[in-house]
Structure 1
Amino acid sequence: MALVAGATRGAGRAIAMALGGAGATVYCSGRSGGGARSDYDRPETLEETAALVTEAGGTALVSVTDHLEPEEVSALVSRIHREQGRLDILVNDIGGEAYVRFGVPLWEYPLEEGLRLMRAALLSHLITARAALGLLVRHPGGLVVEITDGTREFNRDRFRDTVFLDLTKTGVDRLAFAEGHELAEHGGTAVSVTPGWLRSEMMLEAFGVTENDWFDASRAAQEPGSPPAAFVISETPHMLARGIAALAADPGRARWNTRSVSSFELAEHYDLTDVDGSRPDTWRYMREVVETGTAADVTDYR
């Protein structure tokens, strides 16, 4: 029994599909459903995600929920309790990417926009976990996955471009660390998981590429608006999703409790790949190639 908060698109959608494909009943929640769009104003909907979960072999239930509204989240958890009697997996994947202003220093960053990012991508996780964990701990073995950006090791010595983004993404990681300590005595596990450079719908659209031409566009001569060269190391949301599904199915998953791991680490541990058969290692590529300006064969990192 799983709840994926932020299941409308990107990683959340892929995770819901992977958990459904593994046989789970998945509550798909977010703001884009029932004919309404969130302020992202994207075309994807929860109903589309639910259809994909069903197609993958799972059972999907849609909940149009604003995860910044405690009453709405509590109502969702009460519904899960009423309909299922338990919650085994919580995935918090509300990212707030649309609210980031890159390269803007703190003193120039519009305060309300910065706070909106932190509310959407950190406070929503906290509100949802607070509401859901009381149900999750009623049965031992529960799993909480907090999706963030960057591993704990990578973020420790690197500034994530803006103060608001830096605090938000490292805060999500710390939330998983703290949750893991409180869940341990109940037989539960909390893990902070990051994808690499995620080739989501929003990212493909931002660079004006598709799944068919993104790689060639990344390797071509750089033009304004084209993907940066480092985009060659990107991955689909499905590599992350496959790793989380394997983690959820692992009876020894407590070994991961309080840890920060990447989609690559999960894929390597569980012998998984992305949909094209590769296993991109974004964070090592960033350290060894992008940050040093070293020429490298990208196949060594895929």
Structure 2
Amino acid sequence: MNQDTDTQYPDTQHPDRHRPLADRIALVAGATRGAGRALAVELGRAGATVYVTGRTTREHVSEVGRTTETIEETAELVTAAGGTGIAVPTDHLDEDRVRALVDRIDRDHARLDILVNDLWGGEHLTATSIFGKKSWETPLADGLRVLELGVRSHVITAALALPLLVRSDAPLHVEVTDGTARSNRRYRENLYYDLAKNAPIRIAFGLGRELEEYGGTAIAVTPGFLRSEQMLTHFGVTEDNWRDAIAQEPAFAIAESPYYLARALAALAADPDRAARWNGKSASSGDLAKVYGVRDVGGSQPDAWAYFEDVVYGGKDGTPDDYR
């Protein structure tokens, strides 16, 4: 296996580890690709039953326009990893569809233990009409769509799934976003994007207060510079030769696979002290990796947010290798 490359992402760190989430029921909302897919697979690898949702199926393509990743494939990967993957096509802006999803989980298991809100699907908008533009230069329809995809979908899903989640003996609500409370003190280039990526942090903060009496945990998490399927396509590389993209974008040297955050979150989900550690907080993949001792595919432990804060924005001498 080459450094940081492993097409199927097997658990090379703990191939014989136990299954700490074997009795847990999880929903990963937005599990078609990227971090959402990896999160679903790693929860499954830890033994969980994982409902995976999204808009792209083998019969239907969402506005993202990618046909190469589907929720059915994600569910199959979850099962192959040792869990039970269940694909449920769901547009999380459609309240009736989300209610039907929650009702199905209720009928099947009468509870939900882990809710991961990884809903987004706005990359096509950020690339074409969001980044590099003032708020008044941004097409209003595109800006509002970013807020629908990045905020409204999260609120709908949380509102309808939380009554099932609080039946768990240890509810875990995870908001996946871009950035932490600390890093997002820096403006995120465009007003609509800034709002969309800060809102999940506040959702986790607020739900942390509401879940306290149930022994629950709410946390916002973020990957670093993510080697998602879409990002690899953007640079014209694959996971096997991703380092070739560094010639186009030097900062890509700090990039991480989707499985880095996923391994860390699976460890958090199995942590009996997670509420005391994390409730109401936000954390990066690098933050979680340090606490739980996990590493990315290939064995590195990147901290992309520290690299950008210190070197890219702060002017400190350093290289990506110093932060891996």
Q: Under TM normalisation by the shorter chain, which class is it?
A: over 0.9
User: Using the alignment, how far apart are the partners of 2:41 and 2:299 within structure 1?
Assistant: 19
Number of aligned positions between the proteins = 294
Per the normalisation by structure 2, the TM-score is: 0.89
In structure 1, the residue matched to 2:15 is none
Aligned mate of 1:99, from 95, 117, 125 = 125
Structure 1 residue 134 corresponds to structure 2 residue 163: yes
User: Using the alignment, how far apart are the partners of 1:110 and 1:242 within structure 2?
Assistant: 38
Structure 2: give runs of 5+ residues left out of the alignment: 1-24
User: Using the alignment, how far apart are the partners of 1:73 and 1:32 within structure 2?
Assistant: 16
Instruction: Give the drift of 1:293.
Output: 4.2
Structure 1 residue 41 corresponds to structure 2 residue 65: yes
In structure 2, the residue matched to 1:244 is 265
In structure 2, the residue matched to 1:22 is 46
Q: Could you tell me whether the CA contact under 8 Å between 1:140 and 1:186 is conserved in 2?
A: yes
In structure 2, the residue matched to 1:125 is 154
Instruction: Give the drift of 1:216.
Output: 3.6
| Secondary structure of residue in 2 paired with 1:192 | strand
Amino acid at match of 1:138: R
Q: Could you tell me whether the CA contact under 8 Å between 2:237 and 2:244 is conserved in 1?
A: no
Structure 1: give runs of 5+ residues left out of the alignment: 221-225
Aligned mate of 1:206, from 231, 234, 239 = 234
Amino acid at match of 2:228: S
User: Using the alignment, how far apart are the partners of 1:49 and 1:172 within structure 2?
Assistant: 24
In structure 2, the residue matched to 1:87 is 112
Aligned mate of 2:82, from 27, 40, 57 = 57
Instruction: Give the drift of 1:82.
Output: 0.2
Instruction: Give the drift of 1:215.
Output: 1.6
- Percent identity between matched residues is 55
Once the two structures are superposed, residues 58-93 of structure 1 have per-residue CA deviations (whole angstroms, 9 ceiling, x without a partner) of 101110000001111011000000011110000000
Instruction: Give the drift of 1:34.
Output: 4.8
Per the normalisation by structure 1, the TM-score is: 0.95
Q: What is the 5 A alignment of 1:59-74?
A: 59-74=84-99
User: Using the alignment, how far apart are the partners of 2:171 and 2:200 within structure 1?
Assistant: 19
Q: What is the 5 A alignment of 1:78-227?
A: 78-95=103-120, 96-100=122-126, 101-156=130-185, 158-218=186-246, 220=247, 226=248
In structure 1, the residue matched to 2:321 is 299
Instruction: Give the drift of 1:276.
Output: 1.1
In structure 1, the residue matched to 2:16 is none
| Secondary structure of residue in 2 paired with 1:38 | coil
Amino acid at match of 1:296: G
Instruction: Give the drift of 1:188.
Output: 1.0
In structure 2, the residue matched to 1:254 is 275
Amino acid at match of 1:75: A
In structure 1, the residue matched to 2:29 is 5
| Secondary structure of residue in 2 paired with 1:37 | coil
Q: Could you tell me whether the CA contact under 8 Å between 2:227 and 2:258 is conserved in 1?
A: yes
Instruction: Give the drift of 1:97.
Output: 2.5
Instruction: Give the drift of 1:294.
Output: 4.5
Q: Could you tell me whether the CA contact under 8 Å between 1:34 and 1:64 is conserved in 2?
A: no
Amino acid at match of 2:111: R
In structure 1, the residue matched to 2:312 is 290
Q: Which runs of 4+ in 1 moved over 4 A?
A: none
Once the two structures are superposed, residues 216-264 of structure 1 have per-residue CA deviations (whole angstroms, 9 ceiling, x without a partner) of 430x3xxxxx3x1111101000000001101111111102100011101
Instruction: Give the drift of 1:209.
Output: 1.7
| Secondary structure of residue in 2 paired with 1:53 | helix
1:199–1:76 CA distance, 2 compared to 1 (3 A): same
Amino acid at match of 1:243: A
Instruction: Give the drift of 1:287.
Output: 1.1
Amino acid at match of 1:265: D
Q: Could you tell me whether the CA contact under 8 Å between 1:2 and 1:89 is conserved in 2?
A: yes
- Which stretch has the larger CA shift, 209-218 or 249-258? 209-218
